[in-house]
Amino acid sequence: MRGGVICWGNGQFINGSYGVFPSPVWINGWGPGSGVTSLCAGHSHNCLIKEGKVYCWGANSQFQSGQPSIVYVPTLVSGISANVSRISCGAYHTCVVLIDQTARCWGSNVIGELGIGSTSPSKAATPQPVFAFNDVVDIVAGFYATCAVRLVSSEKETWCWGHNTYGQLGLGNTTSPMTQAARVNPDYPQSLVSLPTGGYYAFCGIANHNGGAAYCSGRGAGGHLGNGDDNNRNTLTPVAGLGSNVHQMSMSVASSRACAVTKDGSAFCWGQFTSSFACCLGNGESSTTAMTPQRVDEYGPQNFIQVAVGYYTVCAVRWVNIAKNNYGVWCWGDNIYGGIGSPYVQVGDAPVTFPYIQIDFPD
């Protein structure tokens, strides 16, 4: 199955069809061995990288799919050379890093999130150069905001711009919009070596000291920042209880929830999992707000590799057989749109409160 794209759930943009797809299906023309090397999902759009080129599909009201109209199938985004190395889908905009360490963004620009130094135009279908940066090694598009990791004089620095009303850019203020890029806490000891996720008015990253500590900033409602309270923070704030052991993180781009995987294979989630559409932490409880990280599937094998937080469900990659390099995908949460991806759970059934069903992918 390497190199293909497979989707399930709310399928209005799965192979050009509308409706709910409760079981995984291959995207036509992008099956096994089709050469896909990276994939990202925004609020209602998706993009992939193949041979250094970008293809997007889905909702396009803000041109986030790189076209002037709605896109039902993966379509080449023009205006970028075949040299894309990284991609990130925000709620309504998309950003990439090229192998020459320059960056491009397209889609919504109502708060200056494209990085062109202005809020005009308010949206762009053509990829726009991100300032004059030529040293970008990572980028993440969030909810009307963007952050990038730059390699400056052999040191990694975090720079952000766009929406900052909740202090999500980590600049020590709530000045918004930020149409010019600013360095995050230049005198603070933790520069972020990776920016794994941008969420709902919040950003999180993994620092380069103590082996990998997690920090978040922005909107704290519902425990979104995982630091023990629901206050907004305009500087990088440590996520409680994870120590310096963080391997990977994910936040929902449109809700106040987040999860992380630690280096020992454990998974943790926190934030607002309180409605029928926002269940569940993965710890067996159907409705919870957690101000600090809670262990997922505490009594199951701690074999997590990666986690992804969506609007209705959370999915994780877990080892099946490490010796044989075999792994699978498990999901939990609300199945109102088939996001669990299993025929054993019907659409509309009670939420799956912890990851006990492995998805069976088609050949």
Both tokens of residue 264? 């020992």
Cα-flanking dihedrals φ and ψ of residue 223, to 5°?
80, 25
The pLDDT, as a whole number, for residue 1 is 44
The pLDDT, as a whole number, for residue 24 is 92
- The sheet carrying 155-162 orders its strands as 136-141, 145-152, 155-162, 178-183
Cβ neighbours of residue 39 closer than 8 Å, sequence gap 6 or more: 5, 46, 47, 48, 49
Q: Class assignment of domain 6-252?
A: mainly beta
Q: How far is residue 181's CA from residue 192's CA, in Å, rounded to a whole number? A: 16
Q: How far is residue 145's CA from residue 108's CA, in Å, rounded to a whole number? A: 10
HEC readout, the chain: CCCCCEEEEECCCECCECCEEEEEEECCCCCCCCCEEEEEECCCEEEEEECCEEEEEECCCCCCCCCCCCEEEEEECCCCCCCEEEEEECCCEEEEEECCCCEEEEEECCCCCCCCCCCCCCEEEEEEECCCCCCEEEEEECCCEEEEEEEECCEEEEEEEECCCCCCCCCCCCCCCEEEEEECCCCCCCCEEEEEEEECCEEEEEECCCCCCEEEEECCHHHCCCCCCCCCEEEEEECCCCCCCEEEEEECCCCCEEEEEECCCCEEEEEEECCCCCCCCCCCCCCEEEEEEEECCCCCCCCEEEEEECCCEEEEEEEEECCCCEEEEEEEECCCCCCCCCCCCCCCCCCECCCCCECCCCC
The pLDDT, as a whole number, for residue 270 is 94
Query: Is residue 219 classed exposed, middle or buried when 0-12, 13-18 and 19+ CB atoms within 10 A define those classes?
Result: buried
The pLDDT, as a whole number, for residue 2 is 60
The pLDDT, as a whole number, for residue 189 is 47
Alpha carbons within 13 angstroms on the beta-carbon side of residue 144 total 17
Pairing between β-strand 178-183 and β-strand 192-199 as defined by DSSP bridges: unpaired
The pLDDT, as a whole number, for residue 192 is 62
Q: How far is residue 334's CA from residue 340's CA, in Å, rounded to a whole number? A: 8
Q: pLDDT 10s per residue in the chain (363 long)? A: 468 999 998 876 788 887 888 889 999 999 999 999 999 999 889 999 999 999 999 989 999 999 988 888 999 999 998 899 999 999 999 999 999 999 999 999 999 999 999 999 999 999 999 999 999 999 999 999 999 989 988 888 889 999 999 999 999 999 999 999 999 875 554 556 566 577 888 998 888 655 588 999 999 999 999 999 999 999 989 999 998 889 999 998 878 899 999 999 999 999 988 766 667 889 888 777 899 999 999 888 889 999 999 888 999 999 988 777 889 999 998 888 888 998 888 887 878 888 888 888 887
The pLDDT, as a whole number, for residue 298 is 83
